[in-house]
Amino acid sequence: MPLSSVFSIAKSSLFAHQQALAVTSANLANANNPAYSRQVTIFGTVAPDHRGSYSFGTGVAVQDVVRVRNSVTDNQIRANNHNYYDSEKRSTVLSQIESLFSEPSEYGMSSLLTNFFNSWDELALDPRSSSLRTSVVQSAQLLSEKVNSIYNGISQTKLDVFDEANDIADKINTIVEQLNTVNEQIYEASVVGNYANDLIDNRDALLEELSEYVNINVTIDENDVANVSIGGVFAVDGLHFKQFKIDKDGDSLSLVTEDDGAKATLSGGSMNGLLSLYNTELPQQLDTLDELVVTLMENVNAIHSKGFSITDPVETGIDFFTGYEAGKLEINEEILNDPYYLAISEDGTEGNNNIALELAELKNSELLNGKTLGENYSEYISDIANEINLHQQQAETYQLVLSQLEQTKLEYSGVSTDEEMINVMKYQSSYDAAAKLITVADELLQTLLTLV
């Protein structure tokens, strides 16, 4: 074996460790990059030199730079992302709705409804009192304003949800487009045998982000190209991708493809939460509110219209509320202008309070679903509160699972500075040793030359 082979062996070592140092440097540089997966240099021996019955090593080479990543954990993270972001979005929006009711406080609809009924009771005491009549009108106005503010709040939230769904659709389109680009780059690198580790990291980060918005199904082909479908609808592969949009059909939203209108069947992600809120939960809340208010209005009017005002001339057949539409509970203008139009007298005399007592008794009457209005309202609020609690607890549970999966991912793929510094020292030593070997070989060569 010639002395010159020592040089080539040392050189291979220098090169290999130089490359390994480069990989380690990249690891260290990306220590705080959440999308980055640590890479490991795999060394391999160069093919030996066979001489007679002996084989001599010819050096070392970098055989591979492996991206350390567990695809099972990635799949689990994506699946949990669907659930977590769905629950989290629902609890966030419902919490906004919850705050509209101002419960439990004196400004809540429960107190205002009670005050409204109590004001009739108080008026019954002194039916001629202008101030007590004004008090009834004011309590009705406060109740009407609260109803209006809740209705508008929920309606505004619906609009916000619609806007947010459109924003998310744009984000989905951006991600799908980026995935398409990355897929192409990965494919190009893959077919010529180049490492595409960083591109794959980028792709996985995009998939993880996409799973926050919608439920996705991902398959990776032999060239590391990701084929993705959203809610069962094709989204992207190595060659094509689809753009999505929010389709509004009447008062119902869905996520569809822009070109052929294929509808995604969503089961997770923040988009699913938003669409479910828009299509189901929020309309249900508005319906319940409407039902409560209409029941109140109809029952109050049915009794009030039987009574007589104490105006001159006395009038009867007066509705207290003149209408309810789109959250606006209208109080009779005549009553607003002159509270003596309140018709609480059963026989037209000023001191008769029977109608007021009957109206006050509505508080205890089972007017809707076999329950009082207060009980119905309490149930309404409890349903919202329980819904929020359910989604919050689900979100917390999924977050816990997610953080554990994140830990597992980091344990496996995260960059440890300590580990990398040890590698640096290890590679540095090997590099030093290779350099020393060249010096030794050189000295050997010099020794030989001096003999000539």
Partner 1 sequence: MRVPDTLLHKTFMINLNRNKRTLSNIQTQLTTQSRVNKPSDNPLSNSRIMRMQDQLSGIFTYKSNISYAKSNIDDAILSMEGMEAEIQKIQVQMTQLNSAIVNEDLSSFSDSVDASLEILLDLANSDFNGSYNFGGTDSGTKPFYYDRTNNRVEANSEHLGGERIVKISSNIVQQYNITGMELFQSVYSQNGNLDSTLGVGVAQSTSSKVYDSEGNEYTLNLDYSKTADNTYDLEYTILDSDSNIIDNQTVSDLKFNSTTGNLESVDGDSLSQIHIQNTGNNIDFVIDLSELSEKDTTTNLTGSLNQKADIFNTLIALKATLDSGEKPSEDQVEMINDFHQHLLNKLSKSGGVSNKLTAAEEILLNKEFQISSLLSSEKDVDVAQALLDLESAQYTLDISYHISSMILPKSLLDYL
**Where do contacts with partner 1 occur on this chain (CB under 8 A)?**
31-32, 34, 38, 95, 98-99, 101, 103-104, 106, 108, 110-111, 114-115, 118, 121-122, 124-128, 345-347, 349-354, 357, 360, 363-364, 374, 378, 381-382, 384-386, 388-389, 392, 403, 406-407, 410-412, 414-419, 421-422
Q: Which is nearer to partner 1, 57 or 414 (CB)?
A: 414
Cβ neighbour number for residue 120 with a 10 Å cutoff:
28
DSSP state of 316: B
For residues 377-386, b (16+ Cβ closer than 10 Å) or e, as one string?
beebbeebee
Length of the chain: 452
244 versus 340: smaller Cβ distance to partner 1: 340
CA separation for the pair 269, 156 (Å, rounded) = 22
Q: CA-CA distances (angstroms) from residue 417 to 33, 276, 441?
A: 13, 45, 35
Q: Shortest gap between Cβ of 230 and partner 1 (angstroms)?
A: 29
For residue 353, the one-letter residue type is: N
Query: Of 101 and 321, which CB lies nearer to partner 1 in the complex structure?
Result: 101
Shortest Cβ distance from residue 324 to partner 1 (Å)?
23
Q: Which is nearer to partner 1, 222 or 418 (CB)?
A: 418
* Smallest gap from residue 130 Cβ to partner 1 (A): 10
Rounded Cα distance between 384 and 93, Å, is: 11
Name the minimum Å distance from CB 206 to partner 1.
Answer: 19
Pair type for strands 60-67 and 54-56 = unpaired
CB of 377 to partner 1, least distance (A): 8
**Between vectors from CA 429 to CA 423 and to CA 430, what angle results, nearest 5°?**
90
d(CA 198, CA 74): 16
Closest distance to partner 1 from the beta carbon of 108 (Å): 7
Pairing of strands 39-45, 244-249: unpaired
Report d(CA 372, CA 363) in Å as an integer: 7
Q: Which is nearer to partner 1, 42 or 422 (CB)?
A: 422
What 3-state class would DSSP assign to 294? helix
Closer of 61 and 385 to partner 1 (Cβ): 385
- Name the minimum Å distance from CB 378 to partner 1: 5
Q: Which of 116/278 has CB closer to partner 1?
A: 116
User: Which three-class secondary structure state does DSSP give residue 7?
Assistant: helix
Amino acid at 58: T
Q: Which is nearer to partner 1, 5 or 378 (CB)?
A: 378
Q: What DSSP assignment string belongs to 12-55?
A: HHHHHHHHHHHHHHHHHHTTT-TT---EEEEEEEPPPEEETTEE
Please tell me the chain's helix, strand, coil percentages from 3-state DSSP, rounded to the nearest 5: 65, 15, 25
From the list 412, 399, 418, 383, the residue with the least C-alpha distance to 97 is 383
CB of 417 to partner 1, least distance (A): 5
Smallest separation, CB 349 to partner 1 (Å)? 4
Which CB atom, from 232 or from 317, has the smaller least distance to partner 1? Answer: 317
